[in-house]
């Protein structure tokens, strides 16, 4: 399983504990399905220039219990559209975690991350060593290893790829695709 390391800048740090990700696009926009529209709306309440400054590969950082509440998918659909490659947080709320891992979107639990990075630092997530390297500050920090199934799901791009991989690894035949 070759899960590519992530490398990018810390595009934003959400300092709120129990952060409700729906705030990223605003509750009034939560039913919008157009991805370009979502990307345009994202982060307006936090940093109006966000969509112009973010670059593909950049990462987000969150505080404890990131994703608490009743998380919907559109906020992180918008973030992926903008090129965000993953979220590193002190800890995650399970519902949010499951939802995003199933979408193949890397989530990295790293106690101490808030003290370890500043906005726009360049960091690298090294899966094999469970390590985050801060290239700007030349420091390293361990993150909590992910369960096997979650790593497989990220490596295969989400729940569908994961299930194909499970079938393959366990020698289970799949009927031909239509």
Residue ranges binding other proteins (CB under 8 A): 18, 20, 22, 26-28, 30, 64-65, 68-70, 73, 91-95, 98-99, 102-103, 147-149, 159-160, 162-164, 166-167, 172, 174-178
Q: Is the dihedral of CA 1, 164, 104, 69 positive or negative?
A: negative
Q: Which residues pair with 124 in a beta bridge?
A: 7, 133
Closer CB to other proteins, 20 or 121, in the complex: 20
Closer CB to other proteins, 8 or 99, in the complex: 99
Q: In Å, how far are 37, 64, 80, 109 from 41, measured between CA atoms?
A: 6, 25, 13, 27
For residues 27 and 21, what is the distance between their CA atoms, to the nearest angstrom? 10
Closer CB to other proteins, 121 or 156, in the complex: 156
Q: Which residues pair with 9 in a beta bridge?
A: 122
Closer CB to other proteins, 3 or 159, in the complex: 159
Least distance to other proteins, CB of residue 166, Å: 7
Least distance to other proteins, CB of residue 75, Å: 13
Q: Is there a contact between 84 and 54 (Cβ–Cβ < 8 Å)? A: yes
Least distance to other proteins, CB of residue 122, Å: 29
Closer CB to other proteins, 56 or 148, in the complex: 148
Least distance to other proteins, CB of residue 20, Å: 7
């Amino acid at each position: 399983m070759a899960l590519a390391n992530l490398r990018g800048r810390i595009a934003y740090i959400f300092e709120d504990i129990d952060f409700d990700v729906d705030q990223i696009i605003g509750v009034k926009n939560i039913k919008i399905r157009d991805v370009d529209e979502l990307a345009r709306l994202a982060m307006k309440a936090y940093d109006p220039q966000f969509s112009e400054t973010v670059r593909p590969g950049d990462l987000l950082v969150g505080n404890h219990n990131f994703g608490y509440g009743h998380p919907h998918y559109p906020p992180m659909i918008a973030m992926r559209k903008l090129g965000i490659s993953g979220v590193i947080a002190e800890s995650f709320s399970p519902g949010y975690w499951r939802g995003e891992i199933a979408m193949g979107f890397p989530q990295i639990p790293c106690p101490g991350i808030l003290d370890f990075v500043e906005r726009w630092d360049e960091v690298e997530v090294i899966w094999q060593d469970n390590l985050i390297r801060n290239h700007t500050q030349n420091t390293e920090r361990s993150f909590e290893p992910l369960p096997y199934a979650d790593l497989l799901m990220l490596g295969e791009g989400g729940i569908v790829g994961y299930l194909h991989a499970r079938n393959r690894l366990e020698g289970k035949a799949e009927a031909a695709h239509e």
